[in-house]
Amino acid sequence: MTIAQEHRIPRESIKKIVKSGRRFRSGPITAVFLENGRNASRIAVVISSKIVKKSTERNRIRRRAKEIFRKADKLFSKNCDIIVMFYSGSPFKFRDIEEILFEIFTKAKII
């Protein structure tokens, strides 16, 4: 299932959010949060080809992270722009990503 257009961050906005947002890290994942003043939270997932060589694996990780966001979006207490960045080449299973992202969401106090 894809994320609705209103929940996607345009490529041009990513640098601004990374520069001025608050960072939270847990394990191989870093997330940057910036309140957006909109009616919905938005997400972008960044994973370098230096970390995971195969594009199919990178896309699988992106889909997993976006699905977790889609499920958790209803639990958010405030609307934010969220950039999720992966920094390790370890195999990312759905449950692992879910646990780490929920830990980060709790640290950021948006859940």
Could you give the CA distance from residue 109 to residue 5 in angstroms, rounded to a whole number? Answer: 25
Residue 98 has a pLDDT of: 94
Residue 1 has a pLDDT of: 65
Residue 89 has a pLDDT of: 66
Three-state DSSP class for 102? Answer: helix
Mean pLDDT (10-residue bins), the chain, 111 residues? 86 94 94 93 93 92 93 90 88 89 93 85
Residue 58 has a pLDDT of: 92
Could you give the CA distance from residue 18 to residue 81 in angstroms, rounded to a whole number? Answer: 10
Q: Rounded to the nearest 5°, which phi and psi values hold at 80?
A: -135, 160
Of 48, 18, 44, the residue nearest 32 (C-alpha): 18
Number of residues that this document lists for the chain: 111
